[in-house]
Amino acid sequence: MIRAILCDDEPLALERLADMVDRIDGIEVAGQAGNGAVALAMIAELQPDIVFLDIEMPALDGFDVVEELARGGAAAPLIIFVTAYPQFAAHAFDTGAIDFLTKPVRLGRLETAIARARDAIESREARMRLGDLAEQLAALREERGSDFRAGNYLWVQRRSETVRVDLDLIDWVGAEGEYVRLHLDSISYLHREPLSSMLQRLDARRFLRIHRSYIVNRDRIVAVRRRPAGGYKIVLAGDLELPVGRSYRALVANVVAEEDALPG
């Protein structure tokens, strides 16, 4: 019986993957971890054959977990990365990972990955593959940064596909808890990232933070309205109004003054 540990910081994704693994004969879920640190502790204690490892996690990400495992002298589990970026899978077999699964994981694809892992376990390739993976981590991180997060676009998960969003075409961005919603004309995309981090991606000459929950494209502003109680509201196309936060009023006023368009 193959023993597996699942690691993902998204509870629903973790639950779904565990349910799918339970449907496959010859493999059992030995443990579930919600972050990289817990996964490392479980691996040391339970000595699993396989670890299904999410790449994007806070603090210790999937690559950090692999680095820690590569430093240890204990028996190494096989690594199956789970990622929301299907483009990343093209590089999977150059890294030493036994396989890459893209979210949402499909049962047939999961069965294929487990079959590969079973063959690798039988041929005792785990330690060799982990060493190869550790050597490739620097290249993987560079690839992740340059291919998926650099430039003027962002890959965003939407249902069963990953969509490329041109950052310069964003009208406005709104915070929704740990996520942001990107608005482009009549379409919106939910993306897991804090608003402050999203602001760093955007061209400071084009985008303006007007509230702790809102960023707007300066080119999409059609008016700045004074509020009866004081302060401003930003008006975008379609007469959409967004409030200006108290701490951002001076910044908005300066922007309008630069364009000689401060309303009376």
Could you read off the pLDDT of 151-203 as tens digits, one per residue? Answer: 588 888 877 778 889 999 999 999 998 899 999 988 999 998 899 989 988 98
Tell me, yes or no, if the pTM score tops 0.85.
no
CATH code, 2-147: 3.40.50.2300
- Assigned token pair, 221: 């502003």
CA distance 50 to 43: 9
- Provide the β-strand partners of residue 99: 80
Do the beta carbons of residue 100 and residue 53 sit within 8 Å?
no
The more confident residue out of 171 and 130 is 171
Whether 145 has a pLDDT exceeding 60, the answer reads no
What pLDDT does residue 149 have? 45
- Measured between alpha carbons, how far is residue 192 from residues 142, 158, 208, 243 in Å? 21, 11, 20, 23
The closest of 229, 259, 261 to 244, measured between CA atoms, is: 229
Q: 153-258 has which fold?
A: OB fold (Dihydrolipoamide Acetyltransferase, E2P) (2.40.50)
Q: Which residues contact 69 (CB under 8 A, 6 or more apart)?
A: 40, 43, 76, 77, 79, 130
Domain ranges for the chain, please list them: 2-147, 153-258
Whether 46 has a pLDDT exceeding 80, the answer reads yes
Backbone angles phi, psi at 47, to 5 degrees: 50, 60
CA distance 218 to 255: 9
Confidence of residue 226 (pLDDT cuts 50, 70, 90): confident
